[in-house]
C-alpha cells in the first residue's frame, strides 16, 4: 500500500521538473527500483494511471529498471547478488548482509515535449 504515497510523490516530482524545463507533456518516465525496496511495479503503474489524471504526466509510459540486491559475506567479505533463496555466500557459504545496493527508488530520466 505504500506504493500509493510513493507514486503520488513521483508524479509531483516529475510534473515539477518537467514544468521547470518548460515542458507541456511527459511522455515517458524511467524509474530505477531496487529489489529490496519492496516496491511493486504493477502497483506503481496502477496508482500512476489513476493519480496522473489531469496532470501533464497523464498517459505517460513508465519504464521500470530493477536493481538486484547486493549482499556482502560476513565471513570472507565477498560481495554477491542475493540468491533466490536464503542469504548464503556462493563462495564460502557464510551469512551475508545487505550492502545498500538494491534499496533504490528514483527517477532516472524523463521524455518530455
Q: What CATH number labels 3-68+100-112?
A: 3.30.2320.50
Please enumerate, by residue number, every residue annotated as part of a binding site: 2, 73, 76, 89, 92
Domain ranges of the chain: 3-68+100-112
Is pLDDT at 90 greater than 90 in this prediction? yes
- Asked if residues 31 and 40 have their Cβ atoms less than 8 Å apart, the reply is no
The burial class, CB within 10 Å (0-12 / 13-18 / 19+), for 38 is exposed
Binding-site annotation: residue ranges for Zn(2+): 73, 76, 89, 92
Q: What are phi and psi of 28, to 5 degrees?
A: -155, 140
Give pTM, 2 decimals: 0.86
Interatomic CA distance for residues 32 and 43, integer angstroms: 15
- pLDDT tens digits along 16-73: 999 999 999 999 999 999 999 989 999 999 999 999 999 999 999 999 999 999 999 9
Q: What average pLDDT does this structure show over 1-18?
A: 94
Annotated binding site for Ni(2+): 2
Amino acid at each position: 500500500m505504500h506504493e500509493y504515497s510513493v507514486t503520488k510523490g513521483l508524479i509531483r516530482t516529475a510534473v515539477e521538473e518537467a514544468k521547470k524545463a518548460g515542458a507541456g507533456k511527459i511522455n515517458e518516465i524511467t524509474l530505477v527500483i531496487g529489489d529490496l525496496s519492496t516496491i511493486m511495479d504493477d502497483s506503481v503503474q496502477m496508482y500512476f494511471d489513476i493519480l496522473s489524471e489531469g496532470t501533464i504526466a497523464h498517459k505517460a509510459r513508465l519504464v521500470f529498471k530493477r536493481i538486484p540486491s547486493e549482499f556482502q559475506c560476513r565471513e570472507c567479505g565477498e560481495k554477491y547478488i542475493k540468491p533466490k533463496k536464503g542469504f548464503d555466500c556462493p563462495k564460502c557459504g557464510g551469512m551475508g548482509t545487505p550492502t545498500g545496493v538494491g534499496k533504490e527508488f528514483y527517477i532516472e530520466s524523463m521524455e518530455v515535449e
